[in-house]
Amino acid sequence: MHENKYNNFRRQTHRLPGFDYGSNGYYYITICTKDRLPYFGKIDNGKMQYAFIGKIVQEYWLNIPEHYPFVSLDEFIIMPNHIHGIIVINQDKTTSLGNVATHNCASLLIDAHYNKFCSQSKNLSAIIRGYKSTVKRYANKNNIEFNWQPRFYDHIINNIAELFRIREYIKNNLENWNKDRNNKY
């Protein structure tokens, strides 16, 4: 009898078990390109020189709040083969927008109880999935060679000291590129 090779397959998750990723708060995320290829550009004399797709990646990142009105962007940086950013979820600021905010939700914890009815499709993963798919669709439509790594890294920012430490890490990422574990070149 032929066994289905996926019977015991379980996708490994790096998400915090039991945490509601639809709750308000600050999330630090890293999204990498497939095989860490430097699709987004290169660093020359300490400055990022964007390839065309790198400019699109930045433009679409900045547009995330237009598609998710409950999202604000904090510090971020586009590197040759990855993105670091802080996404702020605040469902409360969309309460006056009526149903506009109900198409998607996502964590320093601002007010977790407000989002207790937020479905799993309305969370941090939905925001990142939407962002990544929009960039990939653009690349496909314009015949630009580009691929994302299948998943992304996230960290729930729990306090103000951690927020400042992560902001500094992001700001200094260009300077530390030669020591970066994502720098394969």
pLDDT in tens, 24-42: 899 999 999 999 999 999 9
Say if residue 11's pLDDT is above 60: no
| Residue 53 located in a structural domain | yes
**Gap between the Cα atoms of 128 and 151, Å rounded:** 9
The pLDDT confidence band at residue 79, using thresholds 50, 70 and 90, is: very high
Look up residue 100 and give its two tokens: 């506009």
The pTM assigned to this predicted structure is 0.76
- CATH number of the domain where residue 53 is located: 3.30.70.1290
Average pLDDT estimate for 60-74:
94
DSSP state of 162: H
Look up residue 24 and give its two tokens: 């308000």
Boundaries of domain holding 139: 25-178
Q: How many domains does the chain have?
A: 1
Say if residue 150's pLDDT is above 70: yes
For 111-139, what is each residue's pLDDT tens digit?
444 444 444 556 899 999 999 999 999 99
Look up residue 152 and give its two tokens: 């992304």
Consecutive H or E run containing 135: helix 124-141
| Residue 125 located in a structural domain | yes
**Gap between the Cα atoms of 151 and 96, Å rounded:** 33
